[in-house]
Structure 1
Amino acid sequence: MDRLTEMEAFATVVDQGGFTDAAKKLGLSKSAISKHVASLEARLGARLLNRTTRRVSPTEIGLAYYDRARRVLNDAGEADALVTSMQSAPSGLLRISVATDFGVNHLSPILGDFLHEFPDISVNMVLNNRYVELISEGFDMAVRIGDLQDSSLRARKLAETAKRMVGAPSYFQRHGRPTRIDDLNDHKLLHYASPASGSAWRITAPSGEKRQVRTAGCLSVNDGQSLLNACVAGLGIAYLPAFLYAPAMAEGRVVDAIPELPLETQGIYAVYPPGRFTQPKVRAFIDFLAHAFAGKGPKDW
């Protein structure tokens, strides 16, 4: 007899507490279940079940065998599901969490292409600047920027972005250009308000030393685009990712505040819950993003 069939019959008898209920569960006759279990016990040379007129329970050896057998059966079920999943067309609702700045500027413009390519998928994209718990909050995946806090999630790097201090030429004409980190104490700094980042910029000096610069200034806002707008208007210096400032820099509306400093970079990642296999809709979107952002960054946005 098939070894997996014998194991499944035995494990189901233990799960259901008897041969009759196990037969109903598997859609087989009670005699067929009995034959499978008897064959298994004969092959192993051990009694796995205690049988009485009222109940069936595993022996000590049977309980130990059950734990391993159930693991094998679960793995076999996942293997079957993986093959089915990989052959099925991506479909269903895809819930995505994305930081507002990146979502508005870089995901929204390409979502239409994705939905045209995969018409059986619908997308619910939530834009916010807080850290979301993917599983407990019901998200399929997220796009995150910077160091990944949760090592239990699976991640795929999509691109990199530089992060620089930038200001408008008009601001530097009025207030002068800083030449070193300490000069920032004499300038107006535009602060990104976030519990995660605090009120300090963490900057790498030419020596490689990590420095902190306090950023309490004339403006504090939890939106990168608003900071860029204030920067372009000449209100001060902002510390922004290239995916936000790159177009304004290319047009000369902002310039690098201290070009001599080392280039700071951040990774941009697709993160999703751990598991033996990835849902087709999630895999399709991550592959789409990887293709869309191929060759992007750190400064080329």
Structure 2
Amino acid sequence: MNAFARIVDLGSFAKAAEDLRVTPSALSKLVSRLEDRLGVRLLTRTTRRLALTSEGSLYLERAREVLELIGRTEADVSSARNKPKGHLRINSSTGFARQTLLHAVPAFLQRFPEVTVDLTLTDRLIDPVAEQVDIVIRGSPSAGSDMVVRKLAEGRRLICAAPSYLARAGTPRSAAELAQHNCIALSGASPPTTWPLAAQDGSVVRYLPKGNFACDNVGMLFDMAIEGHGIVRLADFVVGQAVGDGRLVEILADINRSDRISLWVLMPKGRFRSPRVQAFLDFMDERLKGSE
């Protein structure tokens, strides 16, 4: 598989043979044996160029997947007795990534210079096995039996707005006053997301936020709030730093009935023992606990 991939990548048997330190004739015989075993032609060869057949294209795609898995497996095993190294694939919700991982990942890479990170952002739950992701960070622990689930942090949801919005629209003091404000909320949830607020009689009412904008992306909601477009209710994982530095102001803290929420890490069972995965989890534990 490796020889076949190198032939395609370099565009000739001669260059691939030199790269692999074998003779061109030995390489040609290897590919011929591979084609004979499969019963199909993988390459069409002329005096000027090589071209993949449709079967060759499929074989190359699958071969690359197998070679990558072998490489990652060997790196994991060999690095178990050394410092973490290799490629780490992380998928995170947008809000947490933009407000926490934005600062954490560069610090992690500085501490572990032999690790590289590929970070993808989405608020939908993905299949980490199908998308070849090592770590998924989400606000929900739901996962299949083939996953390892670990709590990363705990927090709560804050209702907040930018100082510019509050200066323009005023600061609501109750659920009734909140109804007169522009609340920007997460869309696409079923049932719709509501905000639990304490009523005057001590009961908890589920307020359905209403406004002129909704979005299914937490990062976008955060940006809209920062720009002064309305009131949001987001996890302190997302808004905590902005509240701390004054870009957002927490409001309705006395009636906001936010239960403790958790941030979870989901990992395929075959990858959670990887030294680079463990190094990242330990690093985030240390960083998040240090910020509490």
For Structure 1 versus Structure 2, the TM-score category normalised by the shorter chain is 0.5 to 0.7
Contact 1:95 1:141 in 2 (8 A): yes
Structure 2: gaps spanning 5 or more residues: 1-75
Tell me the alpha carbon deviations over residues 78-130 of structure 1, each in whole angstroms, 9 at most, x when there is no partner.
xxxx9977425433221110112221222132323322333332221111221
Matches for 1:28-67 after TM superposition, within 5 Å: none
**Aligned-partner SS, 1:158:** strand
1:149 equivalent in structure 2: 142
Count of residue correspondences = 214
- Cα distance between partner residues in 2 of 1:181 and 1:256: 15
Indicate conservation of the 8 Å contact 1:191/1:199, yes or no. no
Cα distance in 2, alignment partners of residues 120 and 111 from structure 1: 13
In our comparison, the structure showing a higher alpha carbon Rg is: 1
C-alpha offsets along residues 239-269 of structure 1, whole Å, 9 cap, x if unaligned? 1222333343334443222121234432122
2:216 corresponds to which residue?
Answer: 222
In 2, Cα distance between the equivalents of 1:160 and 1:274? 23
Deviation (angstroms), 1:191: 1.8
| 1:70-85 alignment, distance < 5 Å | none
Contact 2:194–2:208 (8 Å) recurs in 1: yes
CA distance 1:245–1:269, shift in 2 (3 Å): same
Q: 2:290 — aligned with what? A: 295
- Could you say if the C-alpha distance between residues 86 and 208 of structure 1 is closer, same or farther in structure 2, counting changes exceeding 3 Å? farther
User: How far apart, in 2, do the equivalents of 1:122 and 1:282 lie?
Assistant: 11
Change beyond 3 A, Cα 1:88–1:173: closer
Per the alignment, do residues 178 and 107 of structure 1 end up closer, same or farther by CA in structure 2, a change over 3 Å counting? same
User: Partner residue of 2:248?
Assistant: 254
Letter in 2 for 1:150: A
User: Under a length normalisation based on structure 1, what TM-score does the superposition of the two structures give?
Assistant: 0.60
What fraction of aligned residue pairs are identical, expressed as a percent?
Answer: 29
State which drifts further: 117-126 or 224-233.
224-233
- 1:1-301 to 2 correspondences below 5 Å: 86-145=80-139, 147-150=140-143, 152=145, 153-193=147-187, 195-196=188-189, 199-203=192-196, 205=198, 211-261=205-255, 262-274=257-269, 278-297=273-292
> Secondary structure, in 3 states, of the residue corresponding to 2:286?
helix
Cα distance in 2 for residues equivalent to 1:108 and 1:252: 19
Q: 1:250 to 1:112 in 2, by over 3 A?
A: closer
**What secondary structure is seen at the aligned counterpart in 2 of 1:189?**
coil
Alpha-carbon displacement from aligned partner over 1:111-153 (angstroms, at most 9, x marks no partner)? 23322333332221111221111112211111222x3122633
> Quick one: structure 1 residues 225 and 100, their matched pair in 2 at CA, closer, same or farther if it must change by over 3 Å?
closer
TM-score when normalising by structure 2: 0.61
Distance in 2, Cα, partners of 1:96 & 1:135? 12
> Which secondary structure does the structure 2 equivalent of 1:87 belong to?
coil
**Per the alignment, do residues 287 and 260 of structure 1 end up closer, same or farther by CA in structure 2, a change over 3 Å counting?**
same
SS at match of 1:126: strand
Task: Give the RMSD, CA atoms, in angstroms.
Answer: 3.1
In 1, distance between residues paired with 2:190 and 2:226?
23
Distance 1:208 1:85 in 2: 57
Deviation at 1:169, TM superposition (A): 4.2
Q: 1:166 to 1:131 in 2, by over 3 A?
A: same
